[in-house]
A and B are shown apart, each in its own frame.
Chain A
């Protein structure tokens, strides 16, 4: 069902940099902004990055986002144990009368 493709897992040791990719198409990432959400176990997703690279108030600056063409990336620099979570990209899709679409999700493990 998920329209945007992410790697199922990523990992790193504390202090390392981890990057998560999100691949879409011209009808979603290619023509709209990308948002990222962090989901801790048993909780609702939380907004992490909006409009490709903007951080909401309270989100540490070790989280950053970028977009190029029909792909986007989330980077976590200075990885911390509390960053262990699922991460999802999302974008508006202009096809099918328009609707929000999400990525398949990436589980980040801190080794």
Chain B
């Protein structure tokens, strides 16, 4: 059974960096058949995919166009986890952030999700 455990601060000041971590159990961040994603949810933007990291003989990252200039997702193989960094945050980045695993190859789907972290951007 795969479990994803999120951690990180729930309050971030405007213009600073939002940082979250997702610890994986029951699978490996280096899996050749999974990808590791960050998704957020807010009343104004709904569910929004932010990006992913995955290993296919080397590491790859894909990011949503809406946040591409501000986002970094990094794997940490020593701790079997991956992280999200979102720079220069504004109140519009206030949302519940989820990590999630994608499987399914060319027909991908999110089969396991973290518990969610409410991040508020406010001074």
Task: Please classify how large the interface on chain A is, using the bins under 10, 10 to 19, 20 to 34, 35 or more.
Answer: 20 to 34
Closest to A101 in B: B49
Closest to B66 in A: A1
Enumerate chain A residues within 8 angstroms of B62, measured Cβ to Cβ. 97-99
Enumerate chain B residues within 8 angstroms of A43, measured Cβ to Cβ. 116
Enumerate chain A residues within 8 angstroms of B46, measured Cβ to Cβ. 1-2, 102-105
Does B91 touch A at the CB level, under 8 Å?
Answer: no
What distance in Å separates the Cβ of B84 from its nearest Cβ neighbour in chain A?
15
Closest to A44 in B: B113
Contact with A along B37-70 (1 / 0, CB 8 A): 1010000111111000000000000101110000
- Whether the pair A45, B111 counts as a contact (CB closer than 8 A) is no
Q: Given that A56-B111, A99-B64, A99-B65 are contacting pairs, would A1 and B49 also be in contact in the complex, using a CB cutoff of 8 Å?
A: no
Does B108 touch A at the CB level, under 8 Å?
Answer: yes
What distance in Å separates the Cβ of B69 from its nearest Cβ neighbour in chain A?
13
Q: Please pick, from B49, B66, B108, B116, the residue contacting A102 in the complex, using a CB distance under 8 A.
A: B49
- Chain A residues within 8 Å of B, Cβ to Cβ: 1-2, 32-33, 35, 37, 43-47, 50-51, 56, 88, 90, 92, 96-105
Nearest 6 pairs of A and B residues by beta carbon: A102-B47, A100-B49, A44-B113, A50-B109, A1-B45, A2-B46
Apart from A1-B45, A45-B113, A104-B46, 4 more pairs, CB < 8 Å = A45-B98, A99-B65, A100-B39, A102-B48
- Chain B residues within 8 Å of A, Cβ to Cβ: 37, 39, 44-49, 62, 64-66, 98, 102, 104, 107-111, 113-116
Between A and B, 23 residue pairs with Cβ closer than 8 Å are A1-B44, A1-B45, A1-B48, A2-B47, A33-B109, A35-B109, A43-B116, A44-B114, A44-B115, A44-B116, A45-B98, A47-B110, A50-B104, A50-B107, A56-B111, A88-B47, A92-B108, A96-B64, A97-B62, A99-B65, A100-B37, A100-B102, A100-B108
